[in-house]
Amino acid sequence: MSSIDGGKARARVKKLFFRKLLPLSDMARRGAAYFPMGADPSAATYYVARNATRMSRGDFEAPVCADENEFGKKLAALWERSGNPELAKCAPEMAACAGLLYAPEEIDDEVSPFIYVMF
Amino acid sequence: MSRQLLEYHSVIGYRFIPGLKARVEHEAGGYLVRTNGAGFRCDREFLPARGPSRRALLFGDSYTAGDGVSNGKRYGDLLETMVPNLEVYNFGLSGSGTDQQYLAYREFARGIERDLVIIAVFVENIMRVNARYRFFRNENNEEVLYEKPYFSLGAEGLTLHGVPPERRPLREMDLPPDARSRIDAGGRFASLRLLARRLGIKDLAQRITRYNPVVEYNRPDDPRWLLMRALLAEWIREIGGPVLVVPVPLYQFIEGTSDPSCYQARFAELARDTGCHLHDPLPDLKAYPKEERRAFRFARDVHYTPAGHRALAASLAPAVQSILDAAGS
Amino acid sequence: MSTTILGISSFYHDSAAALVRDGEIVAAAQEERFSRKKHDPRFPRHAINYCLEEAFIEADELDAIVFYDNPLLTWDRVVKNCVMAGEPAFEQFEKAAASILGIKLWVQDYARRTLGCLGRSGRVLFTDHHFAHAASAFYPSPFREAAILTLDGVGEWDTTAIGRGDDDGIELAQVIEYPHSLGLLYSAFTYFCGFKVNSGEYKLMGLAPYGRPVYERIIRDNLIDLKDDGSFRLNMEYFGYLDSFRMTNERFDALFGGPPRQPESRITRREMDLAMSVQAVLEDAVLRLARHARRESGAPNLVMAGGVALNCVANGKLLREGIFDHIWIQPASGDAGGALGAALMAAHGYFGSPRRMSPGGRDTLKGSYLGPAYSSAEVRAFLERHGYPYERIEDPDGRARTVAQALADGKVTGFLSGRMEFGPRALGARSIIGDPRSETMQSTMNLKIKYRESFRPFAPSCLAENAAEYFDLDVESPYMLLVAPVREERCIPFDREAFYNNEDMLQIINQARSDLPAITHVDFSARVQTVHPDDHPDYYRLIRAFREITGFGVIINTSFNVRGEPIVCSPADAYRCFMRTEMDLLVLEDCLLWKSNQPAFAEAGDWRKDYELD
Ligand SMILES: [Fe+2]
């Protein structure tokens, strides 16, 4: 929807990808994959059982982020819980990117007091 | 993107579509508009016969119709909560001049029993009264020109012209040159908007200090004021009963950047000569601290905010109360 | 104390808003209908405005604003995807960062700006994506308990979820995770056959009956491993969506004899056969998933949502297979329906509103007529302002007779009546309607009115009680989500071998296939809408009048728009579309407008440029 404008943000995202994430790629390829890339003849089923089968009240409230700091903390906690400390380490850098990228579309109505929307 | 709110009317030019329930998108989020079966933005249906309540008929433009705020947050509706046993019939019509409001009275209100008629004159209405055409924004967000009914003042008094007004939009280029000067492009704000574009906001701010947005009131014999005054005088005479005239100030007057003394003098003369009641809310509004006064209008839209409506209602309520009490005793 | 909840879906595809009060669905609408930008993904401020308008409440009276997706989990998926894909995924990462970190994360800011506040709770709540789909399917359904199956491209990590709903709420027990997705598989073929991903899936489904499943084996052997229990995995070696902006890659091309079809180029036998092949695989997967859901849930009924649930051909098979006693499918099954699901999920799962069941045993979706209506006064205000000539017929029966006679005379009619539909299908509130008996109507309406590919058949609307006269269908299909065979005695057999050897689709299309040629697909099927008098009395009345005049209780119903345009919403939208096309008659509530009486419609520029082809 939006493209990254502003060289600063772009540079930071690039750095994040090449310096922090790409090094994890080899590890992921060497076996610690984040998800399977194809069939597994030995598997009886491909269904994944959900840990929590219902949404708790807390689940509704958990994802809200007031600012990038909160986002960074929640992201790190998520990855600590899921056993991805290597990603949790990247969370602060991602939060910084979020701060730079923050770009909700402007809602601009030119309001003229004497021109009415009509007909 | 919001609904069409207004429909053609062969005398007034237009009115609200009857029976509407709409929400209008607005910089402050949006506001709810409900219209009654008569095509006015009033939660009450207009009944000819008065019940046990005291009844005020309220006329005005968008400041009275309440552009920017929901029905219940307008000063007219708030008056009902401040003055015991009062019902207000709101005939406010957005974008209208005092001339069209007078026509609305003649078309819709003449036969309605009441204790008081309140004519709220947004002071800039004087420009609309002197205009024959007016710009509106259509559903495609284009500014289009519409004809409006208007009065002229001659030796025999007022004459109504332009009825029925053309229902379709006109093009400015198709008007004869002398008619082009009779377009109301959105008050003096229109030229201010142009200036702002040309000069930038900072320069503009300097220019509007002490800027008088309504020069038409400067002299008692200005023909534009004479027309306005004749209209109000005839309307007041026709009503016969108690009338309260309320000059509704532009924000420049409330915020102290313009001098109101000319228009105040003109309305005082009108009250003196016609015997109507006059309530000038400006001193009450100016008594609020500066930041509160700024919050009487929206960030961009200069219409009154709910706070502005509350302040106006608070100023008006005692005046309305005392007129009703005097009439009742 | 009543509880009012606003649900929002946005930033992906087809934004929408929905409002639920004490568990009752009050309003729901897609942003595209107001912004006039097809599949508008922007924050749905106009749709929100409409929802508050319909409920006639202030924003600060909302108890909660709920978003249908968890952006943290979505970001988790994006990051892991890019790590797995490595360097080639950089561009994708850059784009995802801009849209998730720059926009999606800040939904609360959007809500505050749009509404001026965040309602009573002062913050936005979130649901998991598939819980929103599940809630949109289960809560409005007529079932006290049901198995739940949600199928889409992807939401956060999940692409498929199986669970159940009952008095205790919704439980999702098993999922299939990204990148393994039936929705993405189908979209890959949509892309490969030259249609747009996320909107062209419907065309692929419509193309399938022209083809034979000659590639089914190749798909099963190479692209998908489908277990007996319905679980599956894709072979990512053939797909491009992990690390590029294409759905498929060169290996996929090699598998199917060359590169993807160029959009708008001629459709060849390969595309027809590919469409049929992937459709066959999809149907098999859906049946297996359904059997598994039946076993796991123990529930006799099934509810479905998610974009794949819009595949009404698969749904029809599922129904006829008899795995479940009854099936109910959410008509707004795509992203838009997530807004409704999020609101319902929060209403019942967060605020504990008791579930509302319809006493009559029908669903509580109100026929999906959840959008804005325009009063006769509003319509007339519009027409009078512009001076458009019209005839007003206030008597509903007289009006129905007049319109039905026009249809019988071969007039194509734009029909705007009552509240607008929520979801991708027009159901008689914003429809273009015509006579299904005409042999040329399918081509005429496609080419002169819809300006779209002519291979797609139209859907029929029929009176609910007469459906069995025309179709092998013994249940209601109020949302046009079931494909059923046209009754055999109505069909005209033709030489199928010659048909499959023929590349000229138009020749096939113009060949009568039944006594209702315009709505009978080449495989003698039809995508049926059954019309119930409670859901839309005016539309029901019209079809009844058509039956009285012609003996046929069926009419053509296609959405009121041209190709690439969102379905019309307001009388102004409808008038514009009417004047741009070769429709003969326009019905705006109780006002009728004949094309022959209208003044010339002048427009600046070429309106066709406004609409990107879908
Ligand atoms: Fe989805």
Q: Report yes or no: C281 and C226 within 8 Å, Cβ to Cβ.
A: yes
Sign of the alpha-carbon dihedral angle for B256, B315, B298, B59: negative
Residue A119's pLDDT band (boundaries 50, 70, 90)? very low
Are C200 and C318 contained in the same domain? yes
| Residue C49 to residue B1, Cβ atoms within 8 A | yes
A-C contacts at Cβ under 8 angstroms: 195
pTM of the model: 0.94
From C13, C292, C326, C348, the catalytic residue: C13
Q: B26: which chain A residues are within 8 Å (Cβ-Cβ)?
A: 109, 111
Whether residue C138 lies inside any domain: the answer is no
Mean pLDDT within C279-297: 97
Whether residue C268 lies inside any domain: the answer is yes
What is chain C's mean pLDDT, rounded?
A: 93
Are C315 and C385 contained in the same domain? no
Write down the pLDDT at residue A1: 34
Q: Does C13 participate in catalysis according to the annotation?
A: yes
Tell me the two tokens of residue A117. Answer: 């929307």
The set of long-range contacts for C111-114, using a CB threshold of 8 Å and a minimum separation of 24, is C111/C8, C111/C43, C111/C65, C113/A104, C113/A107, C114/A107, C114/B29, C114/C43, C114/C45, C114/C48
Q: Report yes or no: C265 and C194 within 8 Å, Cβ to Cβ.
A: yes
DSSP strand pairing (C16-21 vs C124-126): unpaired
- Tell me the C-alpha distance between A18 and C62, whole Å: 44
Chain centroid to CA B299: how far? Answer: 21
Total domains in the fold of chain C? 3
Whether residue C357 lies inside any domain: the answer is yes
Quote the percentage of chain C above a pLDDT of 70.
Answer: 98
| Residue B95 to residue A118, Cβ atoms within 8 A | yes
Structural domain that includes position C311:
175-326
Chain centroid to CA B314: how far? Answer: 18
- CA distances (Å), C492 to each of A118, C468, C517, in order? 54, 18, 9
Write down the pLDDT at residue A110: 38
Whether residue C566 lies inside any domain: the answer is yes
Whether residue C155 lies inside any domain: the answer is no
Candidates C600, C591, C576; CA nearest to C384 is C591
The pLDDT of residue C498 is above 90: no
The pLDDT of residue A109 is above 90: no
- Tell me the C-alpha distance between C28 and C249, whole Å: 38
Q: State the number of CA atoms in the 13 A half-sphere of C570 facing the CB.
A: 20
Whether residue C198 lies inside any domain: the answer is yes
Measured between its terminal Cα atoms, the distance across chain C in Å is: 45
Q: Report yes or no: C331 and C340 within 8 Å, Cβ to Cβ.
A: no
Are C477 and C390 contained in the same domain? yes
- Tell me the C-alpha distance between C458 and C480, whole Å: 11
Write down the pLDDT at residue C112: 93
What CATH number does residue B62 fall under? 3.40.50.1110
Write down the pLDDT at residue C336: 95
Which chain B residue lies closest to C386 (C-alpha atoms)?
A: B168
Write down the pLDDT at residue A28: 74
Three-state SS at C43: coil
In C, residues 498-557, which contact A (CB 8 Å cutoff)?
none
pLDDT in tens, C121-173: 899 999 999 999 999 999 999 999 999 999 999 999 999 999 999 998 999 99
Residue C379's pLDDT band (boundaries 50, 70, 90)? very high
The pLDDT of residue A108 is above 90: no
Cβ-Cβ contacts under 8 Å for C81 (sequence gap 6 or more): A34, C89, C92, C178, C179, C242
Quote the ligand 1 centre to C307 CA distance (angstroms). 6
- Surface-to-core class of residue C534, CB atoms within 10 Å of its CB (0-12 exposed, 13-18 middle, 19+ buried): middle
Looking at residue A21, what DSSP letter applies?
I
Ramachandran class of C552: left when φ > 0, alpha when ψ lies in -120 to 50, beta otherwise: beta
Neighbours of A50 (CB within 10 A): 18
The pLDDT of residue C65 is above 90: yes
Total domains in the fold of chain B? 1
The pLDDT of residue C108 is above 60: yes
pLDDT in tens, C386-419: 899 999 999 999 999 999 999 999 999 999 999 9
Quote the percentage of chain C above a pLDDT of 90.
Answer: 82
Beta strand extents in C143-201 (DSSP E only): 146-155, 158-166, 169-177
Three-state SS at B133: strand
Q: What is the DSSP string of C446-464?
A: IIIII-S-TTSPPEEEEEG
- Tell me the C-alpha distance between B314 and B292, whole Å: 14
In C, residues 81-120, which contact A (CB 8 Å cutoff)?
81-87, 90, 93-95, 97-99, 101-103, 105-106, 108-110, 113-114
What CATH number does residue C407 fall under? 3.90.870.20
Are C413 and C557 contained in the same domain? yes
Q: What is the DSSP string of B27-90?
A: TTEEEEEE--TTSSS-SS---SS--SSEEEEEE-SHHHHTTTS-GGGSHHHHHHHHSTTEEEEE
Three-state SS at B159: strand
Looking at residue C289, what DSSP letter applies?
H
Q: State the number of CA atoms in the 13 A half-sphere of C210 facing the CB.
A: 26
Write down the H helix ranges in C452-555. 467-470, 496-500, 505-509, 537-550
Q: Which of A13, A24, A39 sits opposite C83 (nearest CB)?
A: A24
Q: Which residues of chain B have pLDDT under 70?
A: 1, 139-141, 185-211, 329
Whats the size of chain C, residue-wise? 614
Q: Report yes or no: C459 and C202 within 8 Å, Cβ to Cβ.
A: no
- Tell me the C-alpha distance between C557 and C434, whole Å: 7
Are C47 and C14 contained in the same domain? yes
Chains that touch B (3 or more CB pairs under 8 A): A, C
Whether residue C141 lies inside any domain: the answer is no
Structural domain that includes position B187:
3-326
Whether residue C196 lies inside any domain: the answer is yes
Last residue of a domain, one of C263, C296, C326: C326
What CATH number does residue C73 fall under? 3.30.420.40
Write down the pLDDT at residue A116: 38
The pLDDT of residue A30 is above 80: no
pLDDT in tens, C241-277: 988 888 999 999 999 999 999 988 889 999 999 999 9
Are C575 and C430 contained in the same domain? yes
